[in-house]
Copies of this chain bind each other. A is one copy, B any other.
C-alpha cells in the first residue's frame, strides 16, 4: 500500500522532490563549492523565486539558516537588547518565548489557552523591542487571521514584528509593509527534506542588529545579521550550507511558480473546507479549534478523544498516516497537514476514510 504522510512536518515530500534529488546527484550538486559561481546562481534563483512566489518587496533580504529553531534564536540575539513580547497560544510560540529567556532577555508574554487565538488591538509593553507571533500554531491548529498580524504596527509603531510562519507558508500572503521579519523551514509547506530554514528580514532589522553590535551586545557570530547580509549580497552564505537543500528548495519553488500561487492557495482552501466539513458532520470526532476565524487551513486538528487510537489504526489501513496530537493531546487528538504536497485526491481519500469511521 502507498501511504500518504499527513504529519505536519517533516511531512509528505512534494511529488517532484525525488526526481530533483536524482538530478542533483547527476549534476554533482552535493560536491559543489559554496564559493563557486554555480552555487551563487542557484542561491540567487532560489531567493528570486521565493520573492516572486511570496510577493516579497525590495528592501527585504533572504537568509539561509539550518532550521526555524535556529531563527528563533537568531531573531532574539539580533533584534532584542532587553525585552521581547510574545503571543503564546501553544507549544511552539511558547518555545520562542523560552528561547528569549534562555538568552537572558526580559521577555514578557500574553498567554491564551491552547485552541484559542488573539484579537486585534493588542498593545505590547512600551519597552518591548520585538513582538513575536506564531502565525500558525502547529501544536493546536490555530492560525491567526492576517488582519491581526497586520494590525500590530498600529498600536506598537516602534516595535519590530517577527512572524513565525513555519507551518503556514507558502499559503498566507503577508502584507510585508506591516511586518519586519518572517521565517519558515522547508520540511513543512514546501514539502522538502528537513535541514534548512529561510529568514526574511527588512532594513529595520539590519539597523537594529547593527545598533546592538555597536553597543557591545553580542549578536552571535557567523549567523548574525550583518554577516548573513554581507554574504547574501554576493548570493553566498557565511558557512558551508546545506547546498543540496538549497538546490531542492529552488526546484520546488520553480515548480510552485509554474503551478501558480493562486492555484496553490485555492487548492489549500478547497482541501481545508473538505476536511473541516467532514469533521463538523462527524458523529465521533470534531475540529479542535471551534472558532472558524482561527481554524488553520494548513494544519487541521481533530479532537478524537477516546477514539484516537482506533481511528489511527483505521486510517492507517486505508493508507492515511495522520500526525499524533502534540504534547498533552497525544492521546486525544490527531493532526492533519494540508500542504501543497497533499493532493486533492489524497485529501478526498482522507475525508472518505474519516467519514467511514464509526468507532
Contacts and interface: CB of A to CB of B under 8 A. Distances in A.
A65 to B, nearest CB: 8
Contacts of A34: 10, 194
Given A21-B25, A73-B220, A218-B102, A66 B195 contact: yes
Interface string A1-31: 0010101011111000110011001001111
Interface residues of A, number: 55
A211 interface: no
A147 interface: no
A192 interface: yes
B32 A10 contact: yes
Q: Give chain A's interface secondary structure class.
A: loop
Contacts of A29: 193
A242 B242 contact: yes
Interface stretch (A116-124, A233-241, A300-308, A344-352): A233-241
B104 A194 contact: no
Given A103-B221, A222-B69, A242 B195 contact: yes
A103 B218 contact: yes
Copies in the complex: 2
A244 interface: yes
A232 to B, nearest CB: 16
Contacts of A187: 30, 240
Interface string A97-132: 011001110000000000000000000000000000
Nearest to A246: B195
B31 A5 contact: yes
14 contacts: A5-B28, A5-B31, A10-B34, A21-B21, A66-B195, A66-B242, A70-B222, A73-B223, A99-B221, A102-B224, A193-B243, A194-B244, A195-B195, A195-B240
Closest 5 CB pairs of A and B: A195-B242, A66-B66, A69-B239, A30-B193, A102-B221
